[in-house]
Every structure is written in C-alpha cells, then in structure tokens.
Structure 1
Amino acid sequence: MYDFRETTPLTGSDDNQRPAEAMLIDGQYIEDLIPGYSTLQVSGRELLSQSIEKQTIGKSDGEFIQYVRNPSREIVVGYRLAAADNLSFRQAFYKLNDILHGENHQVSFNDDPSKYWIATFSDIDDVPKGRNAITSSFTLFVPDGIAHSVATQTADNMPYKDVPVNLYLNSKTIADTYGSINSPTVTVEPFDSTTNMWHIVAAQGTGSPVGIYLWDYAHGKLLDTTDWSYSADVKGKGKIVQFGIEAGDKNPVVGTIGSEWSRISQTGWFDKPEYKTIAMYFDTNSSPLDVYIKLPKLETGKMPSMWSPNPADPEYYSDTITVHNGGTYPVEPVITATMHADNGLIAFIN
C-alpha cells in the first residue's frame, strides 16, 4: 500500500480548500458530498499510446497505415477517508459507493476544469482494516480514452443534416408549374422575404375535388415501391380531401384547417410504377374554399417529419460553422462536398 500525500500547498483562495486534483463527478465534488474525504493524487490522464493498424504492400519498403485509433484508458484516483467513529466511517463508504456506481459518469478534476472524461467505476484497492482513517485508491475505466472539451466549438454548417431529406426542391419559393382542377383561383403570394405560399380560393358549390396538382412531380424522387409522406403548413377555410401523391394507396389526411397555421399531412405507398403527381384537393360542396399553403415537404417513409430544405437549396446551409469537439487527441477530418449539376443530379463525396 502506498502512502498517498497531497503535496500542493493550499493557498486559501478556495473557500472549500479542495485539493488540487479534487474529482468532480456529474457536477459535484466528492469532497463536498462526503465529510472527511480528500483526493490525494490522480494518475492515468497523461499521454496515451495510439493503436496503429498497418499493412505491408507487395515489395514496397516499410508499411502502409490503414488507420490509427485511441485505445481505452484507466484513471486511478488515490484518496484519504477519515471519520470520527466506526458508524460515520461506514456511512461515508456507503455514500462513496453510491456516488461511484453506475455507468458513464462525467468526470473532471480541479486542476483542469476545461476537460471532462466519460468514465465508469471499475476497481478498488484494498482498504486497511481496523481503522477509521485510511488511504486507498479506485480505478475509473474510460472506454474512448479521450478528454473531451467542456466548451463546444463550432463545424458544421448543415443544421438539417439529421432531419429526413425533403425531396421537394425550393420548397420556400414554390416556383413550380402547377395545374388546377375545377377552376379555383390560384395565386402565389409572399409570406415573408424568403417564403412564398399558394393561395387557393373557390366558391361553395364549385364541386369536389377542387385544388392544384404538380404533375408527376415525384418521378425520379420516389421509388416505384416505397412508402411516402407529404406535409405542408396550411391555414384558412376549407374541407380537405387529398394532400399527397394522387396515385397508389394512401392513408387519411391528418390535421385540421383553421385560422392559425397548422401542419397537414398524408402518407401512402406504391407497390408498382405510377404517375407520382402531388395533389392538394378540397371539397366545396358544403363550404367555400380559401386556404394558404406553404413549406411543402415530400419524403420517403411512413412518418412525416418537421419541415427542412432540400440539400440543393441554399437554406440547407447556415452562415455559421459548428464543430463538435471530439476530444484532445487528433482525428482524421472527414470533408463532405455536395455537387449540383444542371440536370438535377446531387452527389455527395467524402
């Protein structure tokens, strides 16, 4: 058993007089939770060797590096625990046990509050018997081996990258050619400086269905056998009949038209080649029609998601770049480039 000693003099600048390497676990110092507990020293946070996967190529000199990765690491925390009597000593250990157990604690240390580790309690050194004041140590397992930065920096100018892709191009400007059925009055009007909306008006008794369609719009965007979802913001007055791909099987329209904007959606599926026309139809037999529609989204799948621009739209990319820090050790960057051709092809290159 090593006799641990705290060698850094206390300066009096910290009201709690915590040791230099005091351990913060899930936002709290153990010293603040357990009277008589004190961190003595910490090891295992220093340089970490890298695991290198190599390959020999033919008769070439040397070797080719396939990849480099960080192994896991162990951090050993030496501590002192003292109590006035046997009962207080046992209760302190019960408390320490509760604090350390569980998975994936966020751990940092008083001498470097800018970094944290994702660690799990894995081992403990022997505790001297018959004493109420002991020194010992415990081990924390860090699976990724990385000291993470407390402050998130900024590197990603694609805020919608984790949202299902909108297959409707230019869904804010909606400058597409459309047709109408049963002669409603249709105009494209500005909602704001960047967003337009369809305004569809028809008198009561015009018939059913009444509305607009985009002929075979989803051709080449949706497969011949796939689930689809279509949604848009709608407000006004009207009874909706269909709001999605006209052909194939479909589920009932979800949502209600009212005086405030709400998201209306419909889902369906194909099991054979069809004309993939988007239809937004209404019934005027019992009431007039006066609706506004903006921010359409066409996507694959059975569940409509929040509106997002298409990757070919300028709105898909923000003016700022966000970098999510992966740790203090270098990793190979991955740069993704998006190319757009005049024929509508979108290609991603890593």
Structure 2
Amino acid sequence: MANLIFGGHKIGSSSLQFSAARGIFSEVENTTQPVGARDGEMLIRSRLKSRIIPVTYDFVALSRREFERQLAPLLYSTDVQKLIIDDRPDEFWYAKVDGKIDMDRAYFLGTGTINFLVPDGIAHSVATQTADNMPYKDVPVNLVTGSGGTFTGWSGYTSIVSWFVDTMAFAPNASSAVLAAQSFTDNSSSTVYTFSFLAKADTAGDKAHCELFGSASVSDFTLTTSWQTFTAKLTYTTMRRIYVGAAKGNKGSIYIARPKLEIGTTASPWSPNPADPEYYADTITVPNAGTYPSEPVITATINGDDGVLTAINDQGSVLQFGSPDETDGFVKQKSERVYHLDFNQTPTGVTLNNGVTAFPYYEHGNDANVQSGPFGYKDGIAYPSTQRTQSNYWNGPSMSGAIPKNSNGSNTANFQFVNRVNVDTSGPEVGRFEFNLTYQGKIVASLALFDDSPANDQLVFSGTLFDGKDAKMVFFNLLPRNYYRGGNYNAVITKMGNKLTFRLDRLDLGDGGIEPVDIGGFPAMPIDGWTAWFPGFSNQRGWSINWQDSYFEWINVDYWDDIPNRFKDGDVVKIDVANRRVLVNGFEDRTLQTIGNDWGGFKIHPSDNTIHLLTSNWAKQCKAEVSWQEAWL
C-alpha cells in the first residue's frame, strides 16, 4: 500500500491507503495495410497510446460524505498534474483523474478505484541528471594558464629558441639561467605548492631549473634525451610568480611541456587551467539510464565573443543559433560598446538636464516641459529625483551623452540601445520615461513608457521617429495592466539593416513577456547622442522608478535575416528542447529561432548519447551542461 502526492498535495494516512496497477507499458496501437495481392499486411507505424493507471484505495471513515468532501478538492484538476505514488518516490506521472471514482462502503470501511489518465503514457524521473563538457573539473586546479597550448601569458623568454604548440624550448647560456615566468592567482592560505612538468634535452646531462619568486630554489633536474616527469615542492612566497627553464651552463637546448602548479604536496596528472581552451571539450557524453527518450536542456556559457552555437546529437539532429562561421567578414568584425553605465559610481562624461526629449511641450498647451533635478546613486542603481513643484508641465531629471562613430567611421550602422529600469506604479500615480537617440540635437528614435492620467491606471508604450522634418510618434500601444505592472523592464531600440525594433521586455514578472514593435524601411540616419529622461507631472503623485543599467553598442557583424544574433563573453544561453525555447541571460530571445532546427529529433535516448558542440571557427569552446529527467515506459 502507498500514499499519493498529486498536484503537490499528499493524500493518504493510516486510515486511507492506495495501491496502483501501473502496468508494463501503455497500450500499443499498430497500423498496418495490405500491399498488393500478397498475403498479410505491412506495418505502417506503431505508437504508444495514453495510459490509464487504476489506483484502488481502502479507507476508514465515520462519515462517507465528509470523506468525499475532503478528497474531492485534492483530486480535481483541469489539467494534468504531477502524480507520485510513494512506493516509487523516484518517479512521477503527468496525470489527471479520468471518469468516475468508484466507492463501496460498509459501516466504517470502504474501498474504491480512481482511474488516472496519463496522456503521454510515460513515467518521469523526479531527479534531474546532468553532464557537462569539463572533463578536468574534478582534477586539482592548475594555477598557471597556457600550459598545454601556446603558453599565453608566459614572459621573460627572450632567449627561448622557439615555441611549439605545447612545448617551450630554451637555448643554452653559459653565464645565466634562461627562464620563462608567469604570475598566478591563489586565494587559499596554503604555504606549500607542487610544481610538475615534462622535460628533455638535446644533450643528456643538461639541467632544468624551477622556483617560486623569492623562495629557496630546489636543486636543478638532470635531463635525458627522452621525455621525463619532474616534480618539485616549492614554499610560500608573497609574490605569486613561477619560473621554469634551463639552468646556466647547458650545452644544448632543453624542452619543457605541460607545467602544472598546484596547492599541496602531491602532484596530480596534468590538466589545463579553467582559463585554457583545452579545459572545455567539444563533446558531452550523456548516459540515459531510462527506457524512453528524454528532452534535454542545454545550458552554455559563452567563453569570449562567438557568432554561432550549434549542438548535434548522435542521431544527426541539429540545433543552431547565431550566424555560421562562413558568414562573409564575420571574423574581422565585432560589436563595439561605446558606453556602459552600471551606476556603481557616479557617471562621468555625461550631461545633466540638457538633453533632447521627444515631448518638449505639455500636450494641452504651450507650457515647456522641464529637465530638472538630480540623480542619487546607491548599490549600482541611479535614482531620479521625485521632487516636483506645482506647475502645468512635466519635469524631472535627464542625463545625456555622446555616441561616437564606430571603428569603421560610420554612425549609421546596426546598433542596439538598452536600458534597464524598475517601475512601481498604481492607479493614481503618473510618470514617464524616455530613452532617446539623437543627431545634432534632434530626435532620431525615442522609446517611451508613460501613464499621464491619475484617473486611469493605463500604461502606454510609444515610439517616435524623425520623419525628415520633425519627430513624429509612430505607434501608441495601450498595455494590459494585469500583464504589465510593477517590476524590472529592459527598454531596447535595435537597428538591423533597414528595420528598427522597439522592445519592452518584462524581466521578472513571469511568462517571458516581450512587447516588440518593428518599423520597416528605416533609413540610414546618423546618430551622435543619447538622452534618458524621467519626468513626473506637476506635483502629482509619481512613479517609484530607478535606473539600473544603460549601454549602446554598434553591431558590425553580418547578420542573416533568419538569425540576427551574436553572443558575448559570459552570455548564458539556455536551450529548452521540450518547450522549444532559447533564453539568453534568463530572457527569451525569439530572434534566435531558425527554420530547419530539428527540435523533435533532439532527444536523449536510452543508453549513452553524445552531443557535439560547435562554436565559430575562431571562437573558444563554451562551458556547457546538459540536464535531463530520465523517463520509463
């Protein structure tokens, strides 16, 4: 006997027990058809149908009706819920009560049957399994970088004969040692390190030398003409710097490969540093112990700039996001962020209360709206002043700055202008924010969100463009207040080719809401400045608003229409196969979808699976993790 957990409610006690007949697997439906005049038929397809799990129950109750009333709300649902039968707490079913619940009762004892419909017919694992592309993550950390590739960061090797892919060569010197050095970071309190490396010499008997800066040197190591492993115990030094190379007086060159510095007294096998490209493999082995395919979630952390992220499973299904590396000129072009305000300190190089706004006059008269008041700064957030005086105009602080041309000398290229704000507003409050791109003191494009009536709790999302003579509003969208309410928003203006897009992204209000407005036929208008304005009206009660982040970047990468995308260092890309969604840094990016992605075929099949990860041919491999829930027939 067992208890049930259905929709998060535990059902069962000493006086109510359940027993489930799950069956071996769902009913199998086979479709056949005759072929010509031959005997028999040919199998066309076979599929598993939905499953019914009959759960019998025994109970003791003084009142049948009271028992029914208590059980009903726990079992009723309008959609499938997670069902766990706790004799197997490791699995759950997406289930819903089906048909009539039978009940027979004699005196205080009763029994009955509840039929649960399982539409997908499959049991799912409660636990989430993971696999990643970091084969060295459980190996003691190598404190020095560039120890298995091109030794990036090593210095002081002017007398080194040559560099190989994974080897340093040191020329002989009769009067001094010939050393290469690299600084390292160690935040532990260790005072002892172990340094290991491979070495050989052109001339047997020549010697290698190693030390930590300021520490007592260990004895030199005598080499042969074959590769050997050498290990040295080195003591704590105040300057974190390691030296390795040739002792003085050698007769020929010596060679050193795969140096590893680690904490403690024991040498472990060589491994790359997490900053080295070798640390991340381009394949992930995914062992699925279930008996039915699962749909994975792939989470990739981009390591440096990258133009494309591709995942290929061993059934040949492909998911690709971004521009492929054969894009013309892709390697030679990068996006350029010309300014970034994170408000961890008071911004410099900006102007207060002298910007260009899309709403210079109050709409019911000729009263000029005013840019006035300070910003306060705390914990990486800018707080616009909310002090107002009674007047017939909008007033509040503004901040503006310059946008220089990109490195190609263009101020008409593709761009994105992103501002993050937090707004808290209710019915009687009014407020507004504008984020404007300008040229020679005129509006080029303006994104605004406002509520200008204390009587109507209505948010308006609007956009304004320069029409050749003046700034004209091109859209005016009333936003549903049950969906757009207080919280964090990204206000974004992007230009790709001749298409301008205004976006208002809800960041933490659920459902991944994005409100995009695309404007086609946008001319190649120059941009040389930006303005952000946060006014309130007169002395009426205003919004509670703060400004958290602001940046503008020129996008010089060639973008195809179907994948207008690029990735930056540290971006976290989450590929949710089951829901066919792609999220970048926690927010859904619908522009990353592309025709031809084989979502339906990208499954984790029982037994071992391999997922191959590809980035641009010039990019570093990303850090990636695959997570999945096993499933059983």
- Give the TM-score normalised by the residue count of structure 2: 0.31
Task: Work out the CA distance in 1 between the residues paired with 2:584 and 2:529.
Answer: 27
**Per the alignment, in what secondary structure is the counterpart of residue 123 of structure 1?**
coil
Please report how far the alpha carbon of residue 319 of structure 1 lies from its aligned counterpart in structure 2 after TM superposition: 3.8
Ranges in structure 2 where 5+ consecutive residues have no aligned partner: 131-295, 301-308, 311-318, 340-348, 352-401, 421-434, 439-443, 445-492, 506-514, 532-550, 566-582, 595-613
What does residue 76 of structure 2 align with? 101
Task: Work out the CA distance in 2 between the residues paired with 1:252 and 1:36.
Answer: 61
Task: Work out the CA distance in 1 between the residues paired with 2:417 and 2:620.
Answer: 18
Task: Work out the CA distance in 2 between the residues paired with 1:96 and 1:240.
Answer: 61
Please report how far the alpha carbon of residue 99 of structure 1 lies from its aligned counterpart in structure 2 after TM superposition: 0.9
1:231 maps to 2:210: no
**Per the alignment, in what secondary structure is the counterpart of residue 111 of structure 2?**
strand
Task: Work out the CA distance in 2 between the residues paired with 1:317 and 1:60.
Answer: 56
Task: Work out the CA distance in 2 between the residues paired with 1:294 and 1:246.
Answer: 10
- Give the TM-score normalised by the residue count of structure 1: 0.50
What does residue 324 of structure 1 align with? 628
Task: Work out the CA distance in 1 between the residues paired with 2:10 and 2:88.
Answer: 14
Higher-strand-fraction structure: 2
1:211 to 405, 421, 424: 405
What does residue 47 of structure 1 align with? 25
Between Structure 1 and Structure 2, how many residues are aligned? Answer: 248
Q: Which amino acid aligns with 1:282?
A: D
Percentage of matched positions with identical amino acids = 15
User: Is this contact kept in 1: 2:404–2:411, CA < 8 A?
Assistant: no
Please report how far the alpha carbon of residue 91 of structure 1 lies from its aligned counterpart in structure 2 after TM superposition: 1.6
Structure exhibiting the larger radius of gyration computed from Cα positions:
2
1:137 maps to 2:141: no
What does residue 165 of structure 2 align with? none
Mapping of residues 1-350 of structure 1, within 5 Å: 19=1, 21-32=2-13, 36-39=15-18, 41-54=19-32, 65-83=43-61, 85-86=62-63, 89-102=64-77, 103-124=79-100, 126-128=102-104, 131-154=107-130, 155=296, 157=298, 159=300, 176=332, 197-199=336-338, 211-212=405-406, 231=416, 240-241=437-438, 244-245=494-495, 248=498, 250=500, 268-270=518-520, 281-283=527-529, 293=553, 313-314=615-616, 318-325=622-629, 327-329=631-633
Please report how far the alpha carbon of residue 104 of structure 1 lies from its aligned counterpart in structure 2 after TM superposition: 1.1
Task: Work out the CA distance in 2 between the residues paired with 1:53 and 1:75.
Answer: 24
Task: Work out the CA distance in 2 between the residues paired with 1:42 and 1:210.
Answer: 70
User: Is this contact kept in 1: 2:33–2:41, CA < 8 A?
Assistant: yes
User: Is this contact kept in 2: 1:157–1:319, CA < 8 A?
Assistant: no
**Per the alignment, in what secondary structure is the counterpart of residue 128 of structure 2?**
coil
Ranges in structure 1 where 5+ consecutive residues have no aligned partner: 1-18, 178-187, 189-195, 219-229, 256-264, 286-290, 330-350
Task: Work out the CA distance in 2 between the residues paired with 1:254 and 1:78.
Answer: 52
**Alpha-carbon deviations, 1:171-205, whole Å to 9, x = none?**
xxx9655xxxxxxxxxx8xxxxxxx74447x999x
**Per the alignment, in what secondary structure is the counterpart of residue 98 of structure 2?**
strand
Please report how far the alpha carbon of residue 143 of structure 1 lies from its aligned counterpart in structure 2 after TM superposition: 1.1
Task: Work out the CA distance in 2 between the residues paired with 1:284 and 1:270.
Answer: 22
Task: Work out the CA distance in 2 between the residues paired with 1:138 and 1:149.
Answer: 23
**Alpha-carbon deviations, 1:120-171, whole Å to 9, x = none?**
111345433563321121211111111111122344546589x99656989x
User: Is this contact kept in 2: 1:125–1:137, CA < 8 A?
Assistant: yes
Please report how far the alpha carbon of residue 82 of structure 1 lies from its aligned counterpart in structure 2 after TM superposition: 1.1
Task: Work out the CA distance in 2 between the residues paired with 1:50 and 1:147.
Answer: 16
Please report how far the alpha carbon of residue 294 of structure 1 lies from its aligned counterpart in structure 2 after TM superposition: 7.5
- Relative distance call for 1:55 and 1:43 in structure 2 (3 A) is same
Alignment root-mean-square deviation, CA: 5.4
Please report how far the alpha carbon of residue 233 of structure 1 lies from its aligned counterpart in structure 2 after TM superposition: 5.4
